[in-house]
Amino acid sequence: MHQQHIPTYTVSQRQLWKDDWELIQGHPYAMSPSSTGRHQRRARSLMREIEKQLDTCRECEIYYELDWIVDEQTVVRPDLFICCGALIEEYLREAPSLIIEILSPSTRLKDMNVKNALYASMGVRYYIMAESDSDEMTMLHLVDGNYEPMDSTTIDICDGCSVDLS
């Protein structure tokens, strides 16, 4: 039986590509077509709400569609994420406190499986998957290296900073 070779790529190779791609463990995932209007409205609504709640927090910032260069073979672009500490000038290079992915038909399986496993392995404390066409969200928190459903809608991002997603 003939074994097929599946090529892998690096982040520096990906930087040369013309279109938008995520790279997870060297395997490319197309970022096209662009997100729908529903997807963008949902992300914008969540971002506005979280920004209001983070107004009093001097440590945390929310970012929209910024690349996270995990390592030389992995770069992803979460829909939203919260990082605490120094402002990010170019790309995220360490695990954020919280990631929100807006589920859409073209990304649902990747977000629920591949990214879920990646984010857990990288120590992202909170992972939220939000439906693009409703207010439904799956809110997960990291427990012993795996995500478990949350009992609360309030997330403690860092000392003195929390977000209520009810």
Task: Note the pLDDT tens digit of each residue in 16-42.
Answer: 887 788 888 888 887 766 677 788 888
Do 30 and 19 contact (CB within 8 A), yes or no? yes
The whole-model pTM stands at 0.88
Q: Report the pLDDT value the prediction gives residue 166, as an integer from 0 to 100.
A: 84
Cβ burial of 130 (10 Å; 0-12, 13-18, 19+) is buried
Cβ burial of 26 (10 Å; 0-12, 13-18, 19+) is middle
82-134 pLDDT, tens digit per residue, is: 998 888 989 899 999 999 999 988 888 889 999 999 999 999 999 999 998 88
46-82 pLDDT, tens digit per residue, is: 999 999 988 888 889 999 989 999 999 999 999 999 9
Q: 57 by DSSP, 3-state: which?
A: coil
What domains are there in the chain, each with its CATH number? 34-164 (3.90.1570.10)
Q: Report the pLDDT value the prediction gives residue 28, as an integer from 0 to 100.
A: 85
At residue 2, does pLDDT exceed 70? no
